[in-house]
Amino acid sequence: MNDRFAELRRRDFSRLDAGGHVYLDYTGAGLYAESQVRAHADYLCGAVLGNPHSRNPTSLAATHAVEEARRKVLEFFYADPELYEVIFTLNASGALKLIAEAYPWEPGGHFLLTADNHNSVNGMREYAVAHGAEVRYLPLGCELRVDDVESHLAGAERGRHHLFAFPAQSNFSGVKHPLEWVEIAREHGYHVLLDAAAFVPSSPLRLDEHAPDFVALSFYKMFGFPTGVGALLARRNVLGELHRPWFSGGTVRFVSAQNSVHLPHVTGRAFEDGTLNYLGISAVAAGLGFLGEIGIERINRHVMRLTGVLLDELAALRHSNGAPMVRFYGPQGTEMRGGSVAFNLLDPAGETVDFRVVEQRTNAAGVSIRTGFFCNPGAAEFAFEYHDADAFRCINTLTPETFTLQQFSDCMSDHAVGAIRASVGIASNDADIARLMEVLATFRDAPADTVPNAATAAVVAAD
Ligand SMILES: Cc1ncc(COP(=O)(O)O)c(C=O)c1O
């Protein structure tokens, strides 16, 4: 199996080694296979595609390409076309925003979400609150997982609209939350939103086994190209319960300018604003085909083997006094997790090494990792053991205009304010992990306060 992935790297990802890159940020974005891009360029060179909102031959060709992509998406996720619609969006965030602005939030209704969620799910709470719904977070426990989800779901008033949102895989810790929650939440009267953005690049999602009301994802995370195309997979019957706050070209069957009348489409089209990215969408089938040819189960085994190597190698990093060099955030084993590992480096006395300094060294070595909060503040707050009151005080003493990560870090004194995330994917190999380890090993035996001051490190975004 290793040979197969080694051959794939030579054939389709040769630019990594040619450029001296070690890419370990697959949770940030997948990489496109070179063959995928060539096939799409050939397709574009041979096709004449017009705006799909018309009925001329070039328009119909574009419509056909878009509809073919929808069919392939449903097929890839084993989604029954009678049950699900595919709504193309800009990205996963675009899919989440569609639900946020159209969900029938109401007083007495709940928006329940795991503390482990991307900010694009957290942001939905603004709509929920504005419409009087109660927002509640499920806390994280051991390994940054959620305990006893059922007790949080119990007691929702029947007849009201309740939404439960969780990520199939955490973009912070790599934890996979149980997909069985979908059925449990539905039984308790919740609609379920599954954020599958970090899960689907290397894990099989079968909507014939677990059938959430909504699934959000971005295609560039799955196969790198195209960017700017995501999808909301939605149960057809639930779409009817959503009310969009506006209409636009493409979403309506009829509009009168004289009379304040508009008739929205009654299908998923009511959610696709304006002209779709039809040139990008026409590359989705090839991307799914590329993953399908290798096999998502096989990709999963490859990614999990490398995740095991990464976890073991990190755990084996020790200072001369025997102290561990790494503090993990999330599971240290490969059970119920994906290929994303969050950690910080520790010095020989157990002090946290500033992640920005680590990033400076990985950058200099051509190693792409991610640092910070990873847009998942809830998981970070549990990982770094923030007490609500401390964080609240620090946030309150800093005005939005003057806020910097350095000031927040100073105020939180001995708490970490960010971490390092390494994530593996389809084109990763053992040599990538070895290169990362070489860089991390340069911190062996160095007290945290002797490594260059973080304040002089490049300023990074607080996400
Ligand atoms: C779990 C998860 N959800 C949502 C998103 C948002 O995706 P996008 O930026 O493509 O909208 C991300 C991106 O990192 C993610 O990892």
Q: Which residue matches tokens 């795991």? A: 114
User: What does the alpha-carbon distance between residue 281 and residue 352 come to, in Å, rounded to a whole number?
Assistant: 44
149-181 tens-digit pLDDT = 999 999 999 999 999 999 999 999 999 999 999
Last residue of a domain, one of 251, 267, 293: 293
**Residues of the chain with pLDDT > 70: what percent?**
97
Pocket test for ligand 1, best of 195, 370, 371 (most atoms within 8 A of CB): 195
Q: Do 350 and 440 fall within a single domain?
A: yes
Q: Do 57 and 206 fall within a single domain?
A: yes
Burial group, residue 197, by CB count within 10 angstroms (0-12, 13-18, 19+): buried
Flag whether 354 is in a domain.
Answer: yes
**What does the DSSP 8-state code read for residue 337?**
B
Flag whether 330 is in a domain.
Answer: yes
User: What does the alpha-carbon distance between residue 226 and residue 204 come to, in Å, rounded to a whole number?
Assistant: 20
Q: Do 156 and 200 fall within a single domain?
A: yes
Q: Do 254 and 192 fall within a single domain?
A: yes
Question: Does residue 197's CB lie within 6 angstroms of at least one atom of ligand 1?
Answer: yes
**How many distinct structural domains can be found in the chain?**
2
Cis ω on the peptide bond leading into residue 226 (within 30° of 0)? yes
Report whether pLDDT(344) > 90: yes
**What does the DSSP 8-state code read for residue 448?**
G
User: What does the alpha-carbon distance between residue 36 and residue 32 come to, in Å, rounded to a whole number?
Assistant: 7
Check residue 105 and give its pLDDT: 98
Q: Do 335 and 267 fall within a single domain?
A: no
Flag whether 117 is in a domain.
Answer: yes
Question: Buried b / exposed e across 394-405, counting CB within 10 Å, b at 16+?
Answer: beeeeeeeeeeb
Check residue 388 and give its pLDDT: 77
Report whether pLDDT(338) > 80: yes
Question: Does residue 91's CB lie within 6 angstroms of at least one atom of ligand 1?
Answer: yes
pTM listed for this prediction: 0.95
Flag whether 447 is in a domain.
Answer: yes
Report whether pLDDT(456) > 50: no
- What CATH number does the domain containing 361 carry? 3.90.1150.10
Question: Does residue 92's CB lie within 6 angstroms of at least one atom of ligand 1?
Answer: yes
Q: Do 63 and 82 fall within a single domain?
A: yes
Q: How many CA atoms lie within 13 A of 442 on its CB side?
A: 14
Q: Do 66 and 180 fall within a single domain?
A: yes
Check residue 462 and give its pLDDT: 41
For residues 75-104, average pLDDT? 98
User: What does the alpha-carbon distance between residue 382 and residue 463 come to, in Å, rounded to a whole number?
Assistant: 15
Sign of the dihedral defined by the CA atoms of residues 255, 257, 258, 261, in that order: positive
Q: Do 16 and 79 fall within a single domain?
A: no
Report whether pLDDT(316) > 90: yes
Check residue 343 and give its pLDDT: 98
Q: Do 160 and 279 fall within a single domain?
A: yes
Check residue 156 and give its pLDDT: 96
Distance of CA 355 to the CA centre of its chain: 21
Under the banding of pLDDT at 50, 70 and 90, the label for residue 19 is very high
CA of 118 to the centre of ligand 1 (A): 6
Cα first-last separation, the chain? 36
Pocket test for ligand 1, best of 229, 375, 421 (most atoms within 8 A of CB): 375
Report whether pLDDT(131) > 90: yes
Under the banding of pLDDT at 50, 70 and 90, the label for residue 57 is very high
Check residue 457 and give its pLDDT: 42
Residues 6+ apart with CB under 8 A from 241: 104, 161
Atom in ligand 1 nearest the alpha carbon of residue 230: 10
CA of 97 to the centre of ligand 1 (A): 12
Under the banding of pLDDT at 50, 70 and 90, the label for residue 459 is very low
Atom in ligand 1 nearest the alpha carbon of residue 95: 11
Q: Do 110 and 72 fall within a single domain?
A: yes
- What CATH number does the domain containing 193 carry? 3.40.640.10
Ranges 25-39, 40-54, 389-403, 409-423: which has the least confidence: 389-403
Quote the domain boundaries for residue 408. Answer: 2-31+295-456
CA of 206 to the centre of ligand 1 (A): 20
Question: Does residue 36's CB lie within 6 angstroms of at least one atom of ligand 1?
Answer: no
For residues 367-383, average pLDDT? 96
Q: Do 174 and 244 fall within a single domain?
A: yes
Does residue 394 have an active-site annotation?
no
Check residue 460 and give its pLDDT: 40
Pocket test for ligand 1, best of 172, 194, 218 (most atoms within 8 A of CB): 218
Nearest to 341 by CA among 386, 374, 317: 374
Flag whether 133 is in a domain.
Answer: yes
Flag whether 462 is in a domain.
Answer: no
For residues 189-200, average pLDDT? 98
Q: Do 19 and 57 fall within a single domain?
A: no
For residues 95-107, average pLDDT? 98
Last residue of a domain, one of 293, 321, 353: 293
257-283 tens-digit pLDDT = 999 999 999 889 999 999 999 999 999
Question: Is there a contact between 209 and 188 (Cβ–Cβ < 8 Å)?
Answer: no
CA of 214 to the centre of ligand 1 (A): 15
Under the banding of pLDDT at 50, 70 and 90, the label for residue 452 is low
Report whether pLDDT(43) > 50: yes
Flag whether 433 is in a domain.
Answer: yes
Under the banding of pLDDT at 50, 70 and 90, the label for residue 1 is low
Check residue 204 and give its pLDDT: 98
Flag whether 463 is in a domain.
Answer: no
- Bridge partners for 163 per DSSP: 111, 191
Last residue of a domain, one of 293, 328, 356: 293
Report whether pLDDT(415) > 90: no
Nearest to 281 by CA among 67, 26, 39, 46: 67
Write down the catalytic residue from 45, 142, 375, 394: 375
